Amino acid sequence: MYRVRAWTTLTYLTPMIVGVGLISLYPILYNIFISVTNQNLYHFRHYSFIGLTNYQSLLKTLDADFFIVLARTVLFVAVCIPLFLGLGMLNALALNHPAVRFKAFWRVALIIPWAVPSYITAFVWKFFFNGEFGTLNQLYRVFAGPQAGLPWLSEPNWAFASVVIANLWMSYPFFMVVILGALQSIPSELYEAAAVDGAGAFRKFWRITLPLLRPAILPATVLSAILTFNTLNTAFLITQGGPFTSAAKPGATEFVMVYAFREAFQLFNFGYIAAFAVVIFAMLFGVTLGSLRFSGLVREEAR
């Protein structure tokens, strides 16, 4: 760390500061401005200030769209993360097992879903879930008879599960890679010592592996939870946020970002969604700061 003249610092920082200020920060500030106006399809050019009305309609009652969408998204994250983590862990343990051969092959095969662009992932799974021609129902008919079919995308709970499955497919490799990396850094002496002391496989996993994986798993989990909370592509492209049971209520897979996207660019409720964005952002920033403080990253940055 060195002291340099103020203008040197300024010269070095200028491109980034100007760029970030104009392209990243200004839209966010502008968003706060929009959130106190009634700008929408009917008041696109001639909008007026309406104070905190958008925030009021956002949060007025517990059955407002905001809370429905938020609760559904939190549930989605709560279902997804243990599945991602569990499957990632199983794969990592299998890949780390000393008896397994051709590790490089398995590793590459298992990581491929992560590499596929998410809009293509959505395209493939949308076809799989298709009620009539979809691969999953074709398989199902082999066992259940020609008339059978599961309501993958037409029933609310099934649609929710469908989006979970598509997300599981594309998200478990991240945990697999993180956990495998951490597994390989655990010294084998620890297991040998435990074996000498008479510990079984389960006890070794519980007492040695898991505690030593924690520092790797925790930040990965927070990051993945935030990304899952922000799910848009898979949900929107597979289900459009539906199925919708009533016109006035959000659809069964209308998670936070899907809701924002639909309200903003299909219904053009700009002012309302700008307020929605401010509230969601405050929550996400809180979580980010909290988790960084938790993992000690901020202290390290401050040095």
Partner 1 sequence: MLIYAFLILMTTFALFPAFFVVQAAFRPGQSLYTLTLSLWPDHPTLDNFAYIFTKLPFPTWLRNSLGVSVGTMVAGLIGSASGAYALSRFRFAGKQMTLILLLAIQAFPSVLALIPIYLILKTIGLIGSPFGLVLAYMSIALVFCTWNLKGYFDTIPRELDEAALIDGCTVTQAFWRIILPLSLPALAVTALLMFLTAWNEWVMASVLLLDENTYTVPVGLWGLQNDYRVPWGYFASASLIVSVPVVILFLGLQRYFRSGLTVGGVKG
Q: Which of residues 228-267 bind partner 1 (CB under 8 A)?
A: 230-233, 237, 257, 260-261, 264-265
**Is there binding between residue 121 and partner 1 (CB under 8 A)?**
yes
Measuring CA to CA, how many Å separate 47 from each of 28, 38, 40, 261, 274? Answer: 19, 6, 8, 21, 14
Binding partner 1 (rule: CB under 8 A), the pick from 217, 227, 240, 244 is 227
Binding partner 1 (rule: CB under 8 A), the pick from 115, 196, 247, 248 is 115
- The H or E element that residue 28 is part of is helix 26-34
Of the CA atoms within 13 Å of residue 68, those in its CB half-sphere come to: 15
| Count of other CB atoms within 10 angstroms of residue 96 | 16
**Smallest distance from partner 1 to CB 252, Å:** 20
What single DSSP character describes residue 251? -
Binding partner 1 (rule: CB under 8 A), the pick from 217, 219, 240, 244 is 219
Measuring CA to CA, how many Å separate 144 from each of 139, 148, 150, 151, 216? Answer: 9, 6, 10, 14, 44
**Is there binding between residue 2 and partner 1 (CB under 8 A)?**
yes
24-63: contacts with partner 1 (CB under 8 A): 24-28, 30-31, 34
172-201: contacts with partner 1 (CB under 8 A): 173-174, 177
Would the CA dihedral through 141, 143, 146, 152 be positive or negative? negative
For partner 1, the closer CB: 197 or 241: 241
**Is there binding between residue 66 and partner 1 (CB under 8 A)?**
no
**Is there binding between residue 92 and partner 1 (CB under 8 A)?**
no
**Smallest distance from partner 1 to CB 269, Å:** 10
Angstrom distance (rounded) from CA 212 to CA 206: 10
Residues 239 and 159: beta-carbon distance below 8 Å: yes
Torsion angle of alpha carbons 172, 174, 175, 180, nearest 10°?
120
For partner 1, the closer CB: 6 or 196: 6
Residues 233 and 163: beta-carbon distance below 8 Å: no
For partner 1, the closer CB: 137 or 252: 137
Residue 286 burial by Cβ neighbours in a 10 Å radius (0-12, 13-18, 19+)? exposed
**Is there binding between residue 108 and partner 1 (CB under 8 A)?**
yes
Angstrom distance (rounded) from CA 77 to CA 119: 20
Binding partner 1 (rule: CB under 8 A), the pick from 41, 62, 99, 248 is 99
Question: 3-class SS at 49?
Answer: strand
**Smallest distance from partner 1 to CB 197, Å:** 25
For partner 1, the closer CB: 247 or 302: 302
Binding partner 1 (rule: CB under 8 A), the pick from 144, 200, 289, 290 is 289
Q: Which stretch binds partner 1 (CB under 8 A): 15-23, 48-56, 75-83, 182-190?
A: 15-23
Binding partner 1 (rule: CB under 8 A), the pick from 7, 23, 41, 63 is 23
Angstrom distance (rounded) from CA 27 to CA 227: 21
What mask, x for binding partner 1 by CB under 8 A, covers residues 133 to 172? x-x--xx--x--------------------------xx--
